[in-house]
Amino acid sequence: MIRGFACCNEMYEARPIVEGLRALRAAGYDAVEVAPYTFGEPVFPRALRMAPEVRAAADGMGLRVLGLHWLFARTRGLHIHHPDASVRGATREHLVRLMDLCQALGGDLLVFGSPPARGLLPGESRDDAFARTRDFFLDVMPESQARGIVICFEPLARHTTSFIQTAAEAIGLMRGVDHAHFRLNLDAIALSDESRPPAETIRQVWDAAPGAVRHIQVNDPNFRGPGMGDLDFVPIRQALDEVGYDGWLSVEAFDFSVGPERIARESLAYLHRVWANG
């Protein structure tokens, strides 16, 4: 049984961060994923100074902070498998600061999608990219474990990234890192880009790697919220029930043109209808 419904906060970026959290709570969400850049730019050290106040506000309104996503959005020059060790070092430093921010907010997961920081570089082979990516995360796992943070690596759709585009590839990376604090995030858009229906991919992931999936984000391939397009979540719910997923479902939209209030309200209403009929 799922724990509940969460929502990502970046669609309220135009408002002060606490106001965005308050809007999500008013819409009925029990938890939130935070995009670091919603603290303002530059993110550091500003976000770490603001974190105690934001955490207290979230606690006061009964809104749980699950963790962070969009980890490398609006950064420059950072990349997890760059051949230059100094670039990888700067990337590592940024990721560790994000762990500190996540911990300060009371969260315990980092969703690693981060297309700009992971795509294949000119002339780079997939084997080299995989090896450096595996070694990057192996190196940072002690920092993650010490803070009680789980890194949830996310396979991304082909239009989003050129590197690790399927759940099977992500499982391969997880096995290479081989650490309890390195798990997977599944996203409905990416699931819809697989060669089989999303529900079948979910079942195959659980068959291949039980316990691999720590978190799930939900949306529609039209980049709006779940229920705001053609993707039917009933088979997805059935598959998640069958495999025993017991984490959160977190709404992550990308097209905000209809307004954050409508996305938040309609997505949650749709999820409640689907899961109430389980």
Domains annotated on the chain, with CATH: 4-185+205-214 (3.20.20.150)
pLDDT at res. 162: 97
Mean pLDDT of 60-69: 98
User: Helix axis angle, 46-60 relative to 17-27, nearest 10°?
Assistant: 30
Q: For residue range 32-46, list pLDDT tens digits in order.
A: 999 999 999 999 999
With a cut of 90, say whether residue 225 has pLDDT above it: yes
pLDDT at res. 54: 98
Q: Which two tokens stand for residue 51?
A: 């974190």
Helix, strand, coil distribution of the chain in percent, nearest 5? 50, 15, 40
Report the predicted TM-score, pTM, of the whole model to 2 decimal places: 0.97
Task: Give residue 73's pLDDT band: very low, low, confident or very high (50, 70, 90).
Answer: very high
Task: Give residue 278's pLDDT band: very low, low, confident or very high (50, 70, 90).
Answer: low
pLDDT at res. 113: 97
Q: For residue range 82-118, list pLDDT tens digits in order.
A: 999 999 999 999 999 999 999 999 999 999 999 999 9
User: Cα(202)–Cα(240) distance, rounded to whole angstroms?
Assistant: 7
Mean pLDDT of 142-166: 98
Are the C-beta atoms of residues 121 and 50 closer than 8 Å to each other?
Answer: no
Q: For residue range 240-272, list pLDDT tens digits in order.
A: 999 999 999 999 999 999 999 999 999 999 999
Mean pLDDT of 52-64: 98
Percent of the chain with pLDDT over 90: 99
Percent of the chain with pLDDT over 70: 100
Q: For residue range 167-220, list pLDDT tens digits in order.
A: 999 999 999 999 999 999 999 999 999 999 999 999 999 999 999 999 999 999
With a cut of 80, say whether residue 277 has pLDDT above it: no
Tell me 45's DSSP state.
T
Closest CA to 249 of 268, 277, 273: 268
